[in-house]
Structure 1
Amino acid sequence: MRFSRTSKALGMVAIAALALTGCGASGAANGSGSTGGDTSKVILADGSEPQRPLMPADTNEVGGGKVIDMIFAGLVSYDPSGKAVNELAESIEGKDGQHFTIKVKKDQKFTNGEAITAKTFVDSWNFGAAAKNAQLSGGFFESIKGYDEASKEGSTVETMSGLKVVDDHTFTVELKQPESDWPLRLGYTAFVPVPSGALKDPKGFGEKPVGNGPYKLADGGWQHNVQIQLVPNPDYSGPRKAKNAGVTFKIYQNDDSAYQDLMSNNLDILQTIPTSALKNFKSDLGDRTINKPYAGNQTIAIPEYLPEWSGEAGKLRRQAISMAINRDEITKVIFNGARQPAKDFTAPVLDGYSDSIPGADNLKFDATKAKEAWAKADAIKKWDSNETFTIAYNADKGGHKAWVEAVVNQLKNTLGIKVEGKPYATFKEARNDATAKTLTGSIRAGWQADYPSLYNFLGPIYKTGAGSNDAGYANPTFDKAVSDGLNASSVSDGNKAMNKAQEILLQDLPAIPLWYQVAQGGWSDKVSNVDYGWDGVPLYYNVTGK
């Protein structure tokens, strides 16, 4: 399978180029514009119930993230290839990688009429970072000077010293150190502006969010566990302007039901084909399908806050689990060859990816070594033979049951331990336990990139205290290694440093990489101009009726 490279983590020279030339600010980029079609059609797509109220800095899962991406716009967004293009940014200037001057376009407003100014951005970012607000994506502000003081547990500091408002349309940012890819992160939803009402009542706002993106929430649009209705925002003039009459996300209890609706033209877009249909979906749908690699992976996270998975014994057991999984067999039999066994913690479509990082042998099936590692762990701390190792997964989206059952059988056969799948009815319920650190076993996890960079697959998930650190992993050596990578003076050096940091993860295995994801979706014969972006998400704004 041929993988295209989509990202360029910005080095110091690239940052200067970004400041001098700016990014394209209008029109669809890289040929993403639709070619004809009925723009009066409302597009019906599959979705999942968001875990939390729709506050941008408090959303770190795909159900809510998909909606937030569509109803908000930040300084930049990403075109279909992963290139940053300006949205609200007039310019982002910074020649040393540490000090930036950001100018916000004039006459920008939320759909409630409130003006978007430099202060809006500063207030929104400070809110996201402050410990007292407990925003799940607060860690994305970690690079800004003053973040440590605002974010530490129990802190009453509400502002970061590195943010300064210059005038209505200008603010400055000082980072703690020069960082190679910081401007590239600004398209992630944690960095979008929110209106003042959101800061006063985030939970209430999250139920009826007011944004500034290509769409807005319809009146009464979020019908919990049923659907989320979005309508075009007529005042949006950025590169993602809606070419349809709206998008309604229907919330399904399982992907098989969604697939049947797709087959009967009661659903227009199904983002992911269920595993049960992988052998036949191309013959079922003909040319109305996509098979495209993207920046995403699948893992199993094993919480280190559980005593049996902590310390040296826990590390050895995780290595044993990893080497007991035959990824080649599962990707061929379950996924019909449509997944690629993982060799690291990132994704092959990212610039700097390497398939030969020292320690990657822990991701290869080796029954003998798996048994040896388990025996070494037993010599340190004996595994209770009555204990059942569980793999939690959500049953509503993703078709995870089949591969989880395959992993369960492989672990039983190789290690001789009790293993079971633990289904949750919904993705939201599974994420609630992961976020609350109340898991009783492992959980299927994975990552869909927020922005195209190796660091995005490492820092937000595995740094100490990170909002998406399901395993509760903490290793100061790893933390320093990724921070050093951000401080690298070139793209190449930064990528090398990130892969060096991965050597630590490949030994510790806070999560067990399984395979790299491929966007496999389909659409009805009622729509046209369907394509997926670099992150594996359909370009909903571009879809039209026939």
Structure 2
Amino acid sequence: MKRSKIALASVALAGIGALALAGCASGGSDEPTSTGGDAGAIIKVNGSEPENPLFPANTNETGGGKIVDSIYAGLAYYDGEGNIVNDVADSITVDDANTITVKLKEGQKFSNDEAVTADSFIKAWNYGALKSNAQKNASWFSDIEGYSEETDSELTGLTKVDDTTFTIKLSNPVAADFVQRLGYSAYYPLPEVAFEDPTAFGENPIGNGPYKLASEGAWQHDVEINLVKNDAYTGGREAKNGGLDIVFYANLDGAYADLQSGNLDVLDAIPTSAQATFESDLGERAVNQPAAIFQSFTIPESLAHFSGEEGQLRREALSLAIDRDAITKTIFNGTRTPASDFSSPVIGGWSDSLEGADVLKYNQDKAKELWAEADKISPWSGTFQIAYNSDGGHQAWVDATTNSIKNTLGIDASGAPFVDFASLRTEVTNRTITTAFRTGWQADYPGLYNFLAPLYGTGASSNDGDYSNPEFDKLLASGAAADSVDAATADYEKAQEILLKDLPAIPLWYSNVNGGYADTVQNVVFGWNSVPLYYQITKG
């Protein structure tokens, strides 16, 4: 298998020294090819209804993530190639393995003219970390001193030096990796008004990023959200257009039809019905490139027949019963690649030769054998289902996957459709879902740790199956504290080999980003994580 790798700005700490990340202009493939166009033009793009109010620490899904990343700016951001670039930060210095010093640029402001200061970060991070606030991204603060899952504990590791300087003291020696995470939305700052009425603020947020809400009430639920350029933002993502209309489509077929007719400017996902034709339909405006996206389905251990020894046998049998090669060829027309691990080929540390990876290869005889062994423990009864959201173009692959399982194991298997992503996520989040369900990961930052810790670490923010393995957790911690990239990768490979035995999620395939744009726009680039760089798109 050919390995495709995106350039990364890896930060490795060798002994005790100092390392500063200085802000710079991003180059490479995300540079605009031309500077023309109407600076006031609104770019119309596709999206999905966010799961929650637009609070950075409570947003960990792609629908809300697109919006949050557009209206906020953090200490740093990731450019089109996955390099980390300072944004609000003037410098981020690793003082030692447990300590980081952050110096902010002078004159940064929120769109309501409030200054962005050290307190803007310290208060926002404390809010995100407090147990009583129940923020989905709370675990992203777990390495900072003072963090507690059990009590409302302040992050004592955050210390204000002056209005534009603060330090981060970590409880674990993971400073080098922690710096890489700082472009993720959990670490965005908040203005003072956010803490007065967080629920109301989440409906009409005030940020410091390249865009802001067009007006109060610009978020029309289940319809669209309207953003305009934020002139207060002066960072590297300054918008070359007048704003974004992000339309929440009920299905991708409608979005693709709008793209072809010129009623949509940019589409970041192609419906199954057009997978075979979109490149010929769109020509040079078609996008088909590797992205940091991993797809799977998760089987909660709370489901009958899926805990203990029986559960392990059935998970392995189900994985072996899926003909990934056939599905990626016939359903996705080769725009997906069967998975060989739990990460992505565009991430440093990806591997196609992990011990135990044979469980991801189609093997009918072995699948039947293991299913029969599980039946000796407790005979199977009922239907195996995979839940999915109908508005995301998932029906075809879910049907193909469950048909492969049904034909191999001789059991009743089918998809379980939900009307939209929000309704599916509500049941997953509330732990009321009674079937397996589709899962996946679009990387938050370009690091192998990001594909493992948030999804499978004990108590992690996106651990939807409530998986817990102490040995896996130990390897994660060891990798994050390693003094070299190679040493970290070795620990993460061992951690993945544990996942291949336990199968808390069943890996399916890696995704290319398949999308396109209309002839109405220019300078369209899709980034390392599949999201278009909206701020550089021009029109007219």
Please give the TM-score of this superposition, normalised by the length of structure 1: 0.96
Instruction: Give the corresponding residue for 1:33.
Output: 32
The aligned residue for residue 312 of structure 2 is 315
Measured in 1, the distance between the counterparts of 2:287 and 2:26 equals: 24
Aligned position for 2:102: 102
Q: Where does residue 367 of structure 1 map in the other structure? A: 364
CA contact (8 A) 1:8 1:491 kept: no
What does the per-residue CA deviation read over 1:263-309, in whole Å, with 9 as the maximum and x for residues that have no partner? 11111111011111011111211111111101111100111122321
After superposition, residues 498-513 of structure 1 pair within 5 angstroms as: 498-513=492-507
Per-residue CA deviation, residues 389-424 of structure 1 (Å, 9 max, x unaligned), is 110011112x11111110111111101111110111
**Shift, 1:367, TM fit:** 0.6
Q: 2 CA distance for matches of 1:146 and 1:480?
A: 20
Structure 1 range deviating more: 196-205 or 444-453: 196-205
Match of 1:204 among 186, 200, 205: 200
> Whole-Å Cα distance in 2 between the matches of residues 478 and 444 of structure 1?
23
Task: Give the partner amino acid of 2:465.
Answer: A
**1:140 aligns to what?**
140
Please state whether the residue corresponding to 1:458 is helix, strand or coil: helix
Q: Which moved more, 1:94-103 or 1:268-277?
A: 94-103
Other-structure match for 1:67: 67
Equivalent in the alignment of 1:330? 327
Residues 6 and 82, structure 2, Cα contact 8 Å, conserved in 1: no
1:421 counterpart (415, 423, 426): 415
Find the residue that maps to 1:127 and give its secondary structure. helix
Alignment partner for residue 509 of structure 2, among 474, 491, 515?
515
Of 286, 295, 307, which residue of structure 2 is paired with 1:298? 295
Contact residue 19 and residue 95 of structure 2 kept, 8 A: no
**Runs of 4+ more than 2 Å apart:** 4-10, 13-18, 26-31
Q: Is the 8 A contact 2:319 2:359 kept in 1?
A: yes
* Correspondence 1:278 to 2:275: yes
Counterparts of 1:65 and 1:240 in 2: how far apart (Å)?
A: 16
Q: 1:274 to 1:31 in 2, by over 3 A?
A: closer
CA distance in 2, matches of 1:530, 1:483: 38
The CA deviation at 1:496 is 1.2
Using the TM superposition, give the Cα deviation of residue 2 of structure 1 relative to its aligned residue in structure 2, in angstroms: 5.6
Contact 1:296 / 1:516 at 8 angstroms: preserved in 2?
yes
Contact 2:210 2:239 in 1 (8 A): yes
Contact 1:9 1:452 (8 Å CA) reproduced: no
Q: CA offset at residue 516 of structure 1?
A: 0.4
Structure 1 unaligned spans of 5+: none
Supply the distance in 1 between the matched residues of 2:195 and 2:318 (Cα, whole angstroms): 44
Distance 2:375 2:16 in 1: 51
Deviation of 1:480 (Å): 1.2
Q: Deviations over 1:37-81 (max 9, x none)?
A: 313321111110000000000011000000000000000001111
State the distance in 1 between where 2:444 and 2:95 align: 24
Give the TM-score, by structure 2 length.
0.97
CA 1:17–1:340 in structure 2 vs 1: closer, same or farther (change >3 Å)? farther
Give the 3-state SS of the residue equivalent to 1:37 in structure 2: coil
Do residues 483 (structure 1) and 484 (structure 2) align?
no
Residue 344 (structure 1) aligned with residue 338 (structure 2): no
Is the Cα–Cα contact under 8 Å of residues 463 and 469 in structure 1 kept in the other structure? yes
1:44 corresponds to: 44
Q: Distance in 2 between matches of 1:237 and 1:285?
A: 34
Structure 1 range deviating more: 306-315 or 10-19: 10-19
CA drift at 1:134:
0.4
Shifted more, 235-244 versus 6-15: the winner is 6-15
- The answer to whether the Cα contact below 8 Å between 1:346 and 1:454 also exists between their aligned partners in 2 is yes
What RMSD in Å do the two structures reach over aligned CA positions? Answer: 1.5
Are 1:354 and 2:355 counterparts?
no
8 Å CA contact 1:34, 1:542 repeated in 2: no
**Aligned mates of 1:433, 1:13 — CA distance in 2:** 45
Long gaps (5+) in structure 2: none
- How many aligned positions are there? 536
In the alignment, is the contact (CA less than 8 A) between 2:3 and 2:345 conserved in 1? no
What is the SS of the residue equivalent to 1:229? Answer: strand
Q: Do structure 1's residue 5 and structure 2's residue 6 form an aligned pair?
A: yes
1:456 aligned partner: 450
Q: Percent identity?
A: 51
Q: Are 1:275 and 1:402, in contact at CA under 8 Å, matched by a contact in 2?
A: yes
How far off its partner does 1:341 sit?
A: 0.3
For 2:279, the aligned partner's letter is K
- What letter matches 1:277 in structure 2? A
Superposed displacement of residue 146, structure 1 = 1.3
Q: Is the 8 A contact 1:8 1:351 kept in 2?
A: no
